[in-house]
Structure formats: C-alpha cells, structure tokens
Amino acid sequence: MQEIEQYLTDHRARNENELFELLRMASVSTDSQYAAEVAKAGNWVADQFHAMGFTTEVVQTKGHPIVYAETPAVAGAPIVLVYGHYDVQPPDPLDEWISPPFEPVVREGNVVARGATDDKGQMLTHIKSAQAWMDTAGSLPVQIKYVIEGEEECGSSNLEPFLEEYRDRLACDIAVISDTSQFAKNQPAITYGLKGIVYFEVFLEGPKQDLHSGTFGGSVYNPLNALTQMLAAFVDDQGRIQIPGFYDDVVELEQRERDQFAALPFNEQQFKDKVGVDTVHGEAGYTTLERRWARPTLDINGIWGGYQGEGAKTVLPGKSGAKFSCRLVPNQEPEKIGAAIEKMLQDLVPNGIRMEVKHHHGAPAVVVDLDSPYMAAAARAIEQGFGVAPVFIREGGSIPVVTVLRDLLGVDTLLLGWGLDDDNTHGPNEKFSLEDFYRGTKASASLWQEISKIKRAVE
C-alpha cells in the first residue's frame, strides 16, 4: 500500500487535471440540447478503462450510454461492483455562479464546477485507485466491475434494463458507490440509509390563453390561484404532510438511532449559518438530523406561470405548473404514495381547470446492513485514506440504484461519501475538495486491499 500511496502523491496533479478535463464536459442529461456533451463525457470515461487494458464497452441505450468495464478475475477474492455516473444536474440558476459552471477553477482548495462532487469527482476516485494498483502492482487484488451511467440525474430509466440484460456478467459480492457526503470536514462517514423519492409535475390550464385580469378577473378560475391552493393543501405549516395515508407505513426511528444521531458532532447554529437561515424548519417533534435523514418530506422543486418579467403586468394567465417531490423513508412504497398523490391532485383540481400530471421516476428508501464484513473493510480503508475512522449516518438523498442492485443482484451497497454537505450539489457553485479527491482515491485503493481479505460468501 505504501508504494500505491506514493504513486497517488506523485500523480496528484495529473489526476486533478484529468478531473478538470471531465468537468469541462457539460454532460447535463435532463436537457436534450446537451446530448453531444453527455456522449463526450461517456467516451472519456471509457477511454480511462481502455487505457488500463480493462474489458470495456460503451453500451448504447434508448437514452445516454452506460460505460461498462471489468478488470481481470481474481480467484478466491470477492467481486466488487462500482457504480457511478458521468452525467450532471442542469447548471441553473446560471447567474448565481461566480465562475462558469463548466470551466473548473480552484478556489480555497476546492474545484468549483457542475458535477465536481456529484458525481464526477467522487466517481473518478475509484478509477484512479485502480490505475494506481495497475501502474504499481500490475494487477488488482479484487475483480472490479464498473457501471458508470449517464442518466442518474434524469431518472436512470435505462439502467435497470441494462442491469437485467447484463445480470450474469454483473454477478458480484458487494457494490460500492461514492455519491454521498462525509459527515463533516475531516469526519468521513459511511451512509447506511437513504431516502426514497416520488417526483411529480403538474400542469394546469384554465382559459385557452392569457387574459386581462381586469376584464376577466372574477369570471374564470385562474390557474395560478388554483395551483397555489392545490399545492398548499399538501403540507401544513408544521411540516406535516397531508396526503391521505402518507405516514401509514413509515418505520419510526429506533431509540438507538436517535441516540446515535444525537451523539454526532452536529452544531445547529453552524448548520444555520452555512445554509443561511435564522431558523430551521420541519416536521414538529423531530431533530434536524432526524428530519433530514429519517423523516419523509415534501418539497416544491419548481413553479411557473404568468408574468415573471420586470414590472407589473395585469395578466390572468392561461397556464401554470409546478414540480414537486416527496422523499420517502423505509417501508413507504413509491407506487402507493404516488397513487395517493395522484388521487389527491385529482380530488383538489377545481372545476374550470384542466390538469395534466406527469409522474417521474420513483424509488423506495433503503437501509444497508451495518454488520457485514464489507462494512468493516470499508471502515478500515477510510481510516487509512483519511486518517480518521468513519461515523455511520443516514442521508436524505435518493440513490435508486442501491435498491435496484439489492433487488436484481442481491448485494448490499457501501455508500462511501467523499463530498461535503455544503458542496452545493444541484445548486450554483458546486465544489469538491481536492484534498478529499486525493484522500478518497487513497481510501479506494485501500478498499480493494481490505475487501480482498474477505472470504467469498459463495465459495
């Protein structure tokens, strides 16, 4: 391992430059105008594997390609599946970026660019760690199967068909994903629980076109009045979600978990300062960490309608729309919650308004086994990479692939986060610490070693 660490130190600048290269590709998967950039980023990832001599395929799908690569088999050692994604969120709102989102710059030790932490920077650590093994030892101590997709930010709709088709080739013992956060700066974490999600878009239409609000006000249902009334019905001002049956299947936190969360070095004032609010808000009766990690939520993600320009325009708009999503916790079924939301929308939409509902991707929450030897191996590897033992936490984000990997391949996933929760994932000025890029790569290199010591369960 010492030789590998030295190699990673010697090649730090090269690895960073390659990350910047990848960050310059505007691989926004949700928006079709970026399709060429998405393809370019996928090919770039494939070239990394080709260069190491790994069996590599750029698998075409109905959407963006999946890059698949595998390293040589290692007799007696576990097989690891690494999942990551090379696509990124849209960069909006553009005017809040200090520097352009696809021109990476280093500020205060961080690389700032869309995708820096989610997931290009984190994903690349598991490629660069393999390269370190190949260039020093000439081989890896475990077999790694890489699945790097280009549609994570738009619902991964072609991932599951791929995983089904490649199911036999993907046989493995454990999955590894780095697409989460450390608990805090210099306090790495292993995330053992993730929330699920359901995501909706609602489109309302009233009059067939925009009308003068003076001449027509009082005669037709204004689609913006209707939209605000409908959305307001979903959550009360205590953060309690009003969807019928929403809390029926929720698994309440165990006292042991509440105690663990409470013992973490979480400073609420620092948290408030960091996000820029003077008070936290959420479901009454739970702490901030409990709400973020283990209680379901509903957030409106976007809304539009009428006149958004400068000044006063007295329009009664013909259309309005919104996007909103619920984060789900263990045992809530996305299909059941989704159906309840659809029914509630249908019950709420007033006469005089036509509605179209678009139900996007959904995924259930997942909690991963804390007591497996893989979890212990990951903890040791992280301690070697970061010099600090990890804490075990949960996370409010959704990584649907974790559920799919469990359901299709029967494996648990190690969620090893190298990011920080102020990395502005999905927001402007997304960043990733270059020190953590380096330490994450070291931890990844150690992980292959630690996992190689585990006797394969199936042998």
Q: Which of residues 122-151 bind its own copies (CB under 8 A)?
A: none
List the interface residues with its own copies, window 389-408 (CB under 8 A): 395-398
224 binds its own copies (CB under 8 A): yes
Q: Does 446 bind its own copies (CB under 8 A)?
A: no
Question: What residues pair up with 357 in beta bridges, in sequence order?
Answer: 202
Stretch binding its own copies (CB under 8 A), from 167-175, 301-309, 338-346, 377-385: 301-309
Q: Does 262 bind its own copies (CB under 8 A)?
A: no
**Among 95, 214, 269, 458, which residue sits at the site for its own copies (rule: CB under 8 A)?**
214
Distance, in Å, from the CA atom of 387 to the CA atom of 304, rounded to the nearest integer, reads 48
Binding residue for its own copies (CB under 8 A) from 11, 207, 331, 340?
A: 207
Per CB under 8 A, the segment of 104-112, 271-279, 378-386, 448-456 that binds its own copies is 271-279
Among the listed residues 35, 427, 435, 452, the single contact to its own copies using CB under 8 A: 427
**For the window 36-75, what string marks contact with its own copies as x by the rule CB under 8 A?**
----------------------------------------
Residue type, 235: V
Cis check for the bond before 93: say yes or no (omega within 30 of 0): yes
Closest CA to 372 of 176, 129, 84: 176
Stretch of 13-21, 52-60, 331-339, 422-430 contacting its own copies, by CB under 8 A: 422-430
The stretches of 52-172 forming alpha helices (DSSP H) are 121-136, 159-165
Looking at beta carbons only, is 46 or 363 nearer to its own copies?
A: 363
Instruction: Please say whether the beta carbons of 422 and 182 come within 8 A.
Output: no
What is the C-alpha to C-alpha distance for residues 273 and 290, in angstroms, rounded to an integer? 19
Q: Of 298 and 409, which has the nearer Cβ to its own copies? A: 298
Edge-to-edge strand list for the sheet holding 431-433 = 105-107, 110-112, 431-433
Q: Indicate the residue among 275 and 376 with the shorter CB distance to its own copies.
A: 275
Q: Least Å distance between CB 227 and its own copies?
A: 7
Stretch that binds its own copies, among 38-46, 123-131, 139-147, 206-214 (CB under 8 A): 206-214
Nearer to its own copies, 65 or 155 (CB): 155
Residue from the set 72, 352, 387, 410 that interacts with its own copies by CB under 8 A: 352
- Contacting range for its own copies; rule: CB under 8 A; set: 120-128, 142-150, 296-304, 401-409: 296-304
Which of these segments, 35-43, 99-107, 338-346, 420-428, binds its own copies (CB under 8 A)? 420-428
Beta bridge mates, 193:
367, 394
Binds its own copies (CB under 8 A): choice among 6, 9, 60, 314: 314
Q: Which two tokens stand for residue 208?
A: 């067939």
425 is a site residue for its own copies (CB under 8 A): yes
**H-run or E-run covering 36:** helix 35-51
Query: Which residues are CB-neighbours of 450 under 8 A, at least 6 positions away?
Result: 377, 378, 380, 381
Cα–Cα distance measured from residue 14 to residue 162, given in angstroms and rounded to the nearest whole number: 33
Q: Site for its own copies (CB under 8 A): which residue of 131, 156, 297, 384? A: 297
Instruction: Work out which of 64, 114, 292, 394 binds its own copies, going by CB under 8 A.
Output: 292
Nearer residue to its own copies within complex by CB, 213 or 452: 213
Judged by CB under 8 A, which of 65, 101, 150, 155 binds its own copies? Answer: 155
- Is 332 among the residues that bind its own copies (CB under 8 A)? no
Can residue 280 be called a binding residue for its own copies (CB under 8 A)?
yes
Supply the minimum distance, in Å, between the C-beta of residue 21 and its own copies: 25
Q: Is 267 in the site for its own copies (CB under 8 A)?
A: no
Residue 287 C-alpha from the chain's centroid: 23
Phi and psi based region of residue 301 (left: phi greater than 0; alpha: psi -120 to 50; beta: remaining): alpha
Pick out residues in 98-127 that bind its own copies (CB under 8 A).
none
Q: Give the tokens for residue 7.
A: 């190699």
- 295 belongs to the binding site for its own copies (CB under 8 A): yes
Packing angle between helix 2-10 and helix 434-452, nearest 10 degrees?
150
Cα gap 167→158, rounded to integer Å: 14
> Of residues 100, 141, 306, 373, which one binds its own copies by CB under 8 A?
306
b/e per residue, 359-385, with b = 16+ CB within 10 A? eebbbbbbbbeeebebbebbbbbbebb
Reported as half-sphere exposure (CB side, CA atoms, 13 A), residue 362 has a value of: 19
DSSP 8-class letter at 63:
S
Which of residues 18 and 201 has its CB atom nearest to its own copies in the complex? 201
Cα-based distances in Å from 224 to 108, 300, 316, 354: 43, 15, 8, 12
For its own copies, which residue of 105, 233, 339, 367 counts as binding (CB under 8 A)? 233
The answer to whether residues 357 and 201 touch, using CB atoms and an 8 Å cutoff, is yes
DSSP run (H or E) holding 51: helix 35-51
Instruction: Indicate the residue among 98 and 458 with the shorter CB distance to its own copies.
Output: 98
Q: 């805090």: which residue's tokens?
A: 184
